[in-house]
């Protein structure tokens, strides 16, 4: 295990609070918590963010997400466990997280628009933006997985 470099929250509490407020505003939007958890987890998998992956898996579990769906998230395209809406959100998440050199293809946009309203797609895009920002912050400073469990009530998450 590598050592944490610095505590970003302590080093810049004003910016941390603004990011947290932004994330909370997204969660109060039209998209349901289950979908947002999947987006947060998949993005964190792609970006290799240990803290966010650990945190969002625990949050999803506390909100009733099934363990098999959590395990299948890395292979969501092959798994029958996700709805059309969840699949569209995960595809949009992947394209925005990886941002192709020539931008988002029309086909990717049209696939997302077929499932999400304008407002929902904008909110989904903000959700992907936010988790990518959190991932970059925590990867840069190697924030330890589980280090915020008690503060966020995630120490109550149990797995079998």
List, for residues 104-143, the tens digit of each pLDDT value.
Answer: 999 999 999 999 999 999 999 999 999 999 999 999 999 9
Q: Which domains does the chain have, with CATH numbers?
A: 23-146 (1.20.1290.10)
Find all residues with CB under 8 Å of 37, minimum gap 6, and list them: 56, 59, 60, 63, 65
CA–CA separation, 124 and 119 (whole Å): 9
pTM of the model: 0.94
What one-character DSSP code corresponds to residue 99?
Answer: -
For residue 153, pLDDT over 90 is answered with: no
First and final C-alpha spacing in the chain: 24
Distance from C-alpha of 32 to C-alpha of 157, rounded to nearest angstrom: 20
For 69-114, the pLDDT digits (tens) are 999 999 999 999 999 999 999 999 999 999 999 999 999 999 999 9
């Amino acid at each position: 295990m590598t050592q944490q470099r610095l505590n970003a929250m302590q080093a810049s509490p004003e910016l941390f609070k603004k990011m947290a407020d932004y994330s909370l505003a997204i969660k109060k939007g039209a998209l349901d918590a289950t979908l947002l958890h999947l987006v947060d987890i998949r993005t964190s998998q792609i970006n290799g963010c240990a803290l966010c992956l650990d945190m969002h898996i625990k949050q999803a579990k506390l909100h009733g997400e099934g363990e098999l769906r959590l395990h299948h998230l890395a292979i969501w395209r092959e798994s029958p466990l996700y709805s059309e809406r969840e699949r569209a959100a995960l595809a949009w998440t992947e394209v925005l997280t990886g941002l192709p050199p020539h931008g988002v293809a029309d086909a990717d946009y049209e696939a997302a628009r077929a499932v999400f309203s304008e407002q929902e797609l904008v909110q989904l895009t903000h959700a992907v933006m936010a988790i990518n920002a959190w991932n970059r912050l925590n990867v840069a400073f190697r924030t330890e997985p589980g280090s915020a469990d008690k503060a966020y009530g995630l120490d109550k998450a149990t797995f079998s």
